[in-house]
Amino acid sequence: MAQRERMFEVDHEPERVLLIGLTLGPGEARRTADHLDELEQLADSAGARVVGRVTQQRRRADPAFLIGRGKAEQIAETVRQMEIHSVIFDDDLSPVQTRNLERIFACKVLDRSALILDIFASRARTREAKTQVELAQLQYLLPRLTRQWTHLSKQYGGIGTKGPGETQIETDRRAIRSRISTLSDKLREIARERSEQRKGREQYRRVGLVGYTNAGKSTLLNWFTGAGVAVEDRLFATLDATVRLVSIPPAHRILLSDTVGFIRKLPHHLVASFQSTLDEVREADLLLHVVDVSHRLFEEQIQVVDETLDDIGAGGKPTITVFNKIDRLEDRSILNRLLATHPDAVCIAAARSINMTGLVDHLRLLLEPGTSEEVVTLAYRDYPVIAQLHELGTVLEKRYGKGNVTVRIRMDTRNAGRLQQLLARQADTNGARGPKRRPDAAR
């Protein structure tokens, strides 16, 4: 199927857009303004230029026009005067609302979900991410299908695909459903591949980085691993999951994973499509919840992340709250209040490596109960086994004796079974080999 053109792809200058926010109830005007600030960041990430914004206060949303017909007609005049290419609503629009508003504005009308989906489409790099985003886009578009999508049927025409009297839009829906089925099969295959990959990493504790988009998760991953993940001060700079092996002295080796950031009103189609990616979060043993404490609405962002974790089945896991970007705070006294309400939290500035040792110490304390020390004595000829011990944990000490070496190792308790299997296999090998004769035994 021909790929849908990006929403904000233009030949010369950025697309001129107008933002619209709806305020429901008294005292919510400031919150609406903050939400429009975030929407403007999203539009910037998509490559658009915001030339204005409008807010409308109502007791409840209008089912036909969201903001009311009268307000929509006022905005239509602004659209014509300012030569607006697209109008973007902070709230999700129903298919009926979208069609009605497009007729009045005589330009493209988008909602928050469509904007986020477009950003994801532009940032997807791997086969998995591209498949996930395309599936989410098609699921979003299907109920909003109009006659403008007639090109879709050209890919799936032919004998046996049309019923008697079937309209063009029904043919288009058939084409989209067929593509959705194909993409769903691809994602199931990718999920199986990921599951097999995770089976080879079961000996390591898994720690997942979660948080609101642009909270600093990728910066934190780079500090721990030197992974070189792209870091930008914009929303959804990182999309694909990144997993790296990290050593936490003196005895811990963990798998640290960074996945896509969460955001307010994250499209449910996108969450459903990204199930295989979000498995890294669901199967983590421990979560680091990174919070941009310099953001005015960071408490709301914490709530959004907690609700999203519950939605994907990852709520209730052991979690360290990491208040990041403390170097941007004008008033540091807020940290005392935060630590009083979040006694297990850590305050850092990952970009400037401020208090990172405090975070490592806190992480080590949570990992410690799951470790144990073992003492193993092996013959010198068993040097391959000694080398494998370094993969199971951290070797704390080696004592060399006559013909053998005693190794003291600290490892995750889940590796105790692997250690016993390794020693058992080596014992069988030594038994099959028979006793090794000393050079003077034949005299």
Report the C-alpha gap between 260 and 278 in whole angstroms. Answer: 8
Percentage of residues in the chain with pLDDT exceeding 70?
A: 82
Domain match, 348 and 391 both: no
Cα separation values, 276 from 69, 166, 193, 260, 273, Å: 42, 37, 10, 12, 8
Q: Mean pLDDT, to the nearest integer, of 322-332?
A: 92
Q: What is the DSSP letter of 212?
A: B
Cα end-to-end span (Å), the chain:
82
Host H or E run for residue 367: helix 356-367
Which of the listed residues 199, 215, 238 is the one where a domain comes to its end? 199
CATH of the domain at 47: 3.40.50.11060
CATH of the domain at 303: 3.40.50.300
| Cβ–Cβ < 8 Å for 42, 9 | no
Domain assignment of residue 106, yes or no: yes
pLDDT of residue 370: 64
What are the strands, taking DSSP E only, across 251-318? Answer: 252-258, 286-292
Q: Is the pLDDT of residue 128 over 50?
A: yes
Residue type at 302 in one-letter notation: I
Report the C-alpha gap between 374 and 351 in whole angstroms. Answer: 38
pLDDT of residue 366: 83
Which of the listed residues 368, 388, 405 is the one where a domain comes to its end? 368
Tell me what the pLDDT averaged over the chain comes to.
82
Domain match, 357 and 260 both: yes
Which of the listed residues 144, 172, 199 is the one where a domain comes to its end? 199
Cα 159 to chain centroid distance, Å, stands at 43
Domain match, 234 and 347 both: yes
Domain match, 346 and 210 both: yes
Q: Which domain holds residue 419?
A: 371-433
Domain match, 297 and 355 both: yes
Domain match, 376 and 339 both: no
Domain match, 253 and 392 both: no
pLDDT of residue 50: 95
Q: Which residue has the tokens 């009268």?
A: 70
Domain count, the chain: 4
pLDDT of residue 435: 40
Domain assignment of residue 313, yes or no: yes
Q: Is the pLDDT of residue 165 over 60?
A: no
Domain assignment of residue 443, yes or no: no
pLDDT 10s digits, 172-203: 888 889 999 999 999 889 888 877 877 767 77
Q: Is the pLDDT of residue 162 over 70?
A: no
pLDDT band at 210 (very low <50, low <70, confident <90, very high): very high
Q: What are residue 382's phi and psi, to 5 degrees?
A: -90, 30
Domain assignment of residue 412, yes or no: yes
Domain assignment of residue 388, yes or no: yes
Domain match, 246 and 342 both: yes
| Cβ–Cβ < 8 Å for 79, 103 | no
Domain match, 252 and 268 both: yes
Q: Mean pLDDT, to the nearest integer, of 265-277?
A: 76
pLDDT band at 153 (very low <50, low <70, confident <90, very high): very low
Domain assignment of residue 414, yes or no: yes
Domain match, 99 and 141 both: no
pLDDT band at 436 (very low <50, low <70, confident <90, very high): very low
Range with the largest mean pLDDT of 24-33, 225-234, 411-420: 24-33
Domain assignment of residue 171, yes or no: yes
- If one compares 275 and 81, the residue with the highest pLDDT of the two is 81
Residue type at 82 in one-letter notation: M
CATH of the domain at 424: 3.30.70
Closest CA to 426 of 380, 394, 391, 374: 380
Domain match, 138 and 215 both: no
Q: Is the pLDDT of residue 29 over 60?
A: yes
pLDDT of residue 94: 92
Q: Report the range of poorest mean pLDDT among 123-132, 261-270, 406-415.
A: 406-415
pLDDT of residue 161: 41
pLDDT band at 83 (very low <50, low <70, confident <90, very high): very high
Domain match, 87 and 159 both: no
- The pTM for the full model equals 0.74
Q: Mean pLDDT, to the nearest integer, of 59-66?
A: 94
pLDDT band at 97 (very low <50, low <70, confident <90, very high): very high
Q: Is the pLDDT of residue 440 over 50?
A: no
Domain assignment of residue 140, yes or no: yes
Residue type at 137 in one-letter notation: Q
